[in-house]
Amino acid sequence: MTTTFVINSICDHDVKITASLNGSIIEVELESTCKKIRDYASLINKLAIREIAREILNNPIYIKASESRIDPNCLVPCGVAFCTWTEAGMVSKNLLSRMPAQCIVFKYG
């Protein structure tokens, strides 16, 4: 089975994240019009479950995002973490079906 998330960013680049569990390895596919994200995708295409469970400073999802010069305000690394955690069973798909979107909301003034 696979897990898919879609990121709609302020930069006008939509990203589709797909994670597939294969034993203890999660295969990650990113589809995007952003060159930085496409470059990043090749660095995180296979991640071990034990790697995705690490804290941010030691997590390859975030380390490779930094190496790829992805801006700190990019939502894609967080989306990759969420997608891989869901595929690994660390986030409930039942819970996600009840709350399918998480948002960062700007409040003016």
Is the pLDDT at 26 greater than 90? The verdict is: yes
Domain count, the chain: 1
Domain range holding 44?
Answer: 2-98
Residue 103 lies in a domain: no
Residue 104 belongs to a domain:
no
* pLDDT of 102 over the 90 cut: no
**Position 2 confidence tier, pLDDT thresholds 50, 70, 90:** very high
Tens of pLDDT along 74-93?
Answer: 999 999 999 999 999 999 99
pLDDT band at 17 (very low <50, low <70, confident <90, very high): very high
In a domain, 109, yes or no: no
**Residue 7 or 9, more confident:** 7
In this predicted structure, the answer to whether residue 109 has a pLDDT above a threshold of 90 is no
Instruction: Please provide the average confidence, as pLDDT, over all residues in the chain.
Output: 94
Is position 36 within any domain?
Answer: yes
Does residue 106 sit within a domain? no
8: three-class secondary structure by DSSP: strand
pTM exceeds 0.85 = yes
Q: Would residue 91 count as lying in a domain?
A: yes
The whole-angstrom separation of Cα 100 and Cα 93 is 9
Q: At residue 10, does pLDDT exceed 90?
A: no
Q: Which 8-state DSSP code applies to residue 29?
A: E
In 9-96, beta strands by DSSP E:
14-22, 25-32, 46-48
Give the per-residue pLDDT at 99. Answer: 87
